[in-house]
Structure 1
Amino acid sequence: MENLEKELKEYKPFNEQEKRDKELILQWLQNGDKIFTRENKVAHITVSAWIVNANRDKVLMVYHNIYDSWAWLGGHADGNKNLREVVLKEVEEESGVKEVKFLSTDIFSIEILTVAGHEKRGEYISSHLHLNFTFLLEVDEKMNLQIKSDENSGVEWIKVDEISKKSSEKWFVERIYSKLCRKVKENLGEVI
C-alpha cells in the first residue's frame, strides 16, 4: 500500500474530477480499513483497463451484464496490492486476451465510481464506491476474443467515435470515456 500511496501522491491530475478524487482516494489509502478487499462494503480498490488498438481509433469493450451496457474491462483488487497484475488478470478473464502491452506502467487515470445496489450470483450487493485506478494498454485487434458469460455477453472493438452510441451509461461516456480518449490523444499524440 505504501508504494501505491507514493505513486498516487506523485500522480498529476488531468482535470478537476481527478484532483478531487485523488484527495479522497489518498484519504482512503491512509485511513481506510480493508480497502483492497470487498470486505470493506463502503469503498474498495478496483482497476480498469483502457485498451486501445495500434491505430488508437478503437477501444476494446465488453457488454457488461449487470450494467446492461458496453463498458471498459476491469475488476476488484481482491487483496492483491499489485494493481498491474490485477488489471492483466481481469483483461484475460473478461476477454480471453493474454498478450497485452502496457503503453505506460504508470497509472493512467483515477476515478471514484459509484456502484448502485444490484444482484450478483443471487446475492444483493449494497451500493458502494470503487476507488479506481485505470491503466492504458494496447492489444492487437486480431487477437481472438472470448466472452466471460457470468459477467459479460459481448466483447468487441468499438470505434472511439461510436462509444457514445454503444454505451448506455451517460455519466461514464461524458465523464470517464471521453476523458480517457482525450488523455490518449494528449499523451500519445494519436488519432483518438
Structure 2
Amino acid sequence: MSLIDDIRAYEPFNEQEEVDRQVILHALETDPHAFDRSSAAHMACSVWTVDPARERTLMVYHNLYDSWSWIGGHADGGRDLARVALRELEEETGVASARLVPCGPGGIYSLEVLTVDGHEKRGRYVSSHLHLNVTYLAVASPDEPLRVKPDENSGVRWVDLDDVCALSTEPWIASRIYRKLIDKLVAVDLG
C-alpha cells in the first residue's frame, strides 16, 4: 500500500487526528509537491521513541523551538516516511538500533498538522509553513549512547513520560500532541 492508502485506512484516535487526517489527504490528493519543502504545506514525520518499559521517551532540545521536543524531519522528496523517521532518529540522537512498532496501517502511530513559524536557518529566512506530519512509534534501549546534532539540537536525553509536557515550552504541542502520544501508549503492544 502507498502512504496515501495507509492514511486513508488509518483510524483517528481523536477529533484532532480526524480533522488533520482530512487536511493531509487533501494535500496528498491535490499537491504534486506535497513531499517537497517548496510547498507551503509539506510532508514531514516524527518518531515517538520510548524505552521497553514505556516509562521514558527520547527527546532533543530543539534549537529552533527553544524547547525539549520529539524527533523528526522533512520528507524532502522521500515517500517512505518510516525510513525517514528512523534516519532522523539516528541523525538527531545517535540511536541506531531502534525498531519501529507496528501500529496502524503502514505503521502509523499518529497524524497531525503542525504550524512552523517563520525563522532563520543557515543564514536564510524560511517562511511560515505547515508540516503534514506522520508519527511513528519506536522502541530503543536507554543504554545506547546518545549524541547531539549541533545544527539542530543542543541536548538529547531520556525523559520520564510524566515530565514530558512540563519540559515543553510549546503549550499546544504539550497538551494536544505529547499528551495524546502518551495516552495512546497504553493500547499498544510493544512486542
Report the TM range for the smaller structure's normalisation: over 0.9
Q: Does 1:147 align with 2:148?
A: yes
Aligned partner of 2:111 in structure 1 is: 110
Q: Could you give the per-residue CA deviations for residues 9-49 of structure 1, whole angstroms, max 9, x where no partner exists? A: 10000000000011111110000131111121x11000000
Aligned AA for 2:69? A
**How far apart, in 2, do the equivalents of 1:20 and 1:68 lie?**
28
Q: Deviations over 1:41-73 (max 9, x none)?
A: x11000000000011010000000000000000
2:108 aligns to what SS in structure 1?
A: coil
Counterparts of 1:106 and 1:164 in 2: how far apart (Å)? 24
- Work out the CA distance in 1 between the residues paired with 2:38 and 2:174: 29
Segment of structure 1 superposing worse, 44-53 or 2-11:
2-11
Match of 1:152, as an amino acid? Answer: N
Q: Deviations over 1:141-183 (max 9, x none)?
A: 0000000000000000000111122111111110000000011
Q: Secondary structure at the match of 1:168?
A: coil
Q: CA deviation at 1:120?
A: 0.7
Question: Which among 70, 73, 76 is matched to residue 74 of structure 2?
Answer: 76
Cα distance in structure 2, aligned partners of 1:57 and 1:118: 34
Partner of 1:64: 62
TM-score (structure 1 length as normaliser): 0.95
- Residue matched to 2:129: 128
Q: Which runs of 5+ in 2 are unaligned?
A: none
SS, match of residue 173 in structure 1:
helix
Secondary structure, counterpart of 2:48 in structure 1: strand
Q: Distance in 1 between matches of 2:64 and 2:41?
A: 19
Q: 1:21 aligns to what?
A: 20
Report deviation, 1:188. Answer: 3.6
SS in 1 for 2:82: helix
Secondary structure, in 3 states, of the residue corresponding to 2:3? helix
The TM-score with structure 2 as length reference comes to: 0.95
Write out the 4+ residue segments of structure 1 that deviate beyond 6 Å after TM superposition. Answer: none
DSSP 3-state at the match of 1:108:
strand
CA distance in structure 2 between the partners assigned to 1:10 and 1:91 by the alignment: 26
The match for 1:11 is: 10
Q: Secondary structure at the match of 1:27?
A: helix
Does 2:98 align with 1:97?
no
What code does the residue aligned with 1:176 have?
Answer: I
Tell me how far 1:103 sits from its aligned partner.
Answer: 1.4
Between 12-21 and 160-169, report the one with greater CA deviation: 160-169
Partner of 1:186: 187
AA paired with 2:156? V
State the secondary structure of the residue aligned to 2:44.
strand
